[in-house]
Amino acid sequence: MNLGGFALKFFEVAGTYLFTMKSMALVLFSIFAIIVVGYLIGKINIKGVSLGTAAIFLVALFAGHLKGLAFGENDATGIADWADSLTKVDTYFSMLQNIGLVLFVTSVGFIAGPTFFKNLKKNAKSYVLLGAVIILSGALVTALVTMFVPNMTSAMAVGLMSGALTSTPAFAAAQGALEGSPVFKEIAVGHAVAYPFGVIGVVLFVQIMPKLLHVDMEQERLKISGGDDSKKEARKNEKLFVMDKFGIGAFSLAVMLGLLLGSITIPMGKGSFSLGTTGGPLIMALILGHFGKIGKLSMWVDEHLLSIFQELGLVFFLIGAGVDGGSSFVATLKVYGGWVFLWGALMTIVPLIIGYIIARYCLKLSLLNNLGSITGGMTSTPALGALINTAGTTDVASAYAATYPIALVLVVLASQFLTYVPSLV
């Protein structure tokens, strides 16, 4: 029996029990099962390199593929009476992904806030240049693939780029630029194919480079550290209104204000630009994390809570993204073949290598600043989580937060311009 047949039989047997819990309970069961299996796989260590939390994404991809089989999403073999629950299940996982993303980036903003502006003032030009180099090199690879790969459409290529750079805003911008086009659906196909390597490739890169270079991680942490402890102490002694003992209220307010900021839309060519649910909360948390208050209202958030929200947010985001991508991943490869996976991988690898070389040899950034900037330039949320674990410090979040905004703007612009690139073969 092949894998698809085994999965189908498994769901037929298990479905009787699981679906008595209804779709919400099934989703909850699946979420915790993915977390348990993902963490176990993430512990597998090969010469000091492990997937860590990112392994949850691989398990979620597999779960998404099984979901497609069970609900008849990939073909007509789905289990009878389950298809009606598909919309609900997809909605739950989409909501989980968005909640996770907001939790993660807001935590990163608060963590990086106290050192962000000091770090930005010191390395602003480097961050801007590096963000631009990473996105432009990815765009160049995309343009070349569009022009010289047979049967490659601009829609498929731009979809590959948005997945390779794990950029939902770029994906949305490309869809806006090609709305109504006969190749519109290929954007989603390309995104789904390139996204897995876009996640795993950068996660492995930020772990492998320190080991290849045999760096003294303690020395690297000293180079990037720069917290202002005197400012933190002053906030503690200042009489401010504190909503709760953990800072959950302050965190929630930052999310609210960030979502409002992210909803502001700026017209841009055929499409538009907004900070969205990633950029808005990130920037708002950076600002509030830096100042620590709004008038007499304390915006302090407990460091342990931020650590928990950061990990939990990353886990939720990876599950939602993995289940969504897994539904069509195998079917897409069957239709387009393995080569399309290779082109997506190149769109991840080339910007990574070029960005690293520029940061190290031209901009002279320390290793952790270098890798932190690359995670921001690649707009890679999972890679930042992996880098924080590898580096043993949250100070790398400042470099991510400094590079991310310029990369976000440029990747949205690039995805729109690249839809006009013609095929030359």
Question: What pTM, to 2 d.p., does this model score?
Answer: 0.74
Report the amino acid identity of residue 103: L
Tell whether the model's pLDDT for residue 133 goes beyond 60: yes
Q: If you count DSSP H runs as helices and E runs as strands, how many of each does the chain have, helices first?
A: 16, 4
Report the amino acid identity of residue 148: F
Mean pLDDT of 351-360: 95
Report the amino acid identity of residue 217: M
User: Rounded to whole angstroms, how far apart are CA atoms 71 and 49?
Assistant: 36
User: Rounded to whole angstroms, how far apart are CA atoms 223 and 396?
Assistant: 11
Ranges assigned E (strand) in 134-246: none
Closest CA to 166 of 408, 371, 365, 357: 408
Tell whether the model's pLDDT for residue 80 goes beyond 50: no
301 token code pair: 């958030």
Quick count: other Cβ atoms within 10 Å of Cβ 341?
18
pLDDT in tens, 47-66: 777 777 878 888 888 888 77
Residues 6+ apart with CB under 8 A from 16: none
Mean pLDDT of 110-137: 86
User: Rounded to whole angstroms, how far apart are CA atoms 56 and 95?
Assistant: 17
* From 30-34, 278-282, 352-356, the region with the lowest mean pLDDT: 278-282
pLDDT in tens, 199-221: 889 989 998 999 898 889 899 98
345 token code pair: 């991988």
Tell whether the model's pLDDT for residue 351 goes beyond 60: yes
Q: Is 242 exposed, middle or buried (0-12, 13-18, 19+ CB in 10 A)?
A: middle
